[in-house]
């Protein structure tokens, strides 16, 4: 349901959404945010946790736009979702959140394209660049 947090899926630091955020432990690829200067865990903002949980739900081979994620949550907007990904996105399948026009994220095209091919994400091949086939790849969160 949009606006409600997804259920706990057995991963560290997941399940509850206290108002003040929570402390996170570094646990492999599930780590969300650490303070590189001390190696200690830092608080993850509640909105960021919600965004990352939505991204975790996107099935392989499917995508949502930045705006789709915000709409699914019922708060924030595309830029806020993009900011969360810029700060904390390395711990999730970041390539599954895309621009509305289906163009690949500049500077990350090669990594994203490799992930799309591995997952079987529908693509359109253009004269100059690849683009996602948004009609076939877009996931509505259902």
CA separation (Å) from 100 to 2, 32, 133?
A: 20, 26, 11
Mean pLDDT, the chain, whole residue set: 78
Is residue 50 scored above 60 in pLDDT?
yes
Phi and psi, residue 65, nearest 5°: -85, 165
Mean pLDDT of 112-120: 96
pLDDT tens readout for residues 11-48? 333 333 333 332 332 223 344 444 333 333 358 899 99
Point out which residues pair with 41 in neighbouring strands.
34
Taking the C-alpha atoms of residue 142 and residue 126, their distance in angstroms, rounded to an integer, is 30
Run of H or E including 87: helix 78-88
Point out which residues pair with 124 in neighbouring strands.
131
Domain 28-137 coded CATH 1.10.10.10: yes
Q: What is the pTM of this model?
A: 0.70
Concatenated DSSP letters of 104-135? PPTT-HHHHHHHHHHHT--EEE-SS-EEE-HH
């Amino acid at each position: 349901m949009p606006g409600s947090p997804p259920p706990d899926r057995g991963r560290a630091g997941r399940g509850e959404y206290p108002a003040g955020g929570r402390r996170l432990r570094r646990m492999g690829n599930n780590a969300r945010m650490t303070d590189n200067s001390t190696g200690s865990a830092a608080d993850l903002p509640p909105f960021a946790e919600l965004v990352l949980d939505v991204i975790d739900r996107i099935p392989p081979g499917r995508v949502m736009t930045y705006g789709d994620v915000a709409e699914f949550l019922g708060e924030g907007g595309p830029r806020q979702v993009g900011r969360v990904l810029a700060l904390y996105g390395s711990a999730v399948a970041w390539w599954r959140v895309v621009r509305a026009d289906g163009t690949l994220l500049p500077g990350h095209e090669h990594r994203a394209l490799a992930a799309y091919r591995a997952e079987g994400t529908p693509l359109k091949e253009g004269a100059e660049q690849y683009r996602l086939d948004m009609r076939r790849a877009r996931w509505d969160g259902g």
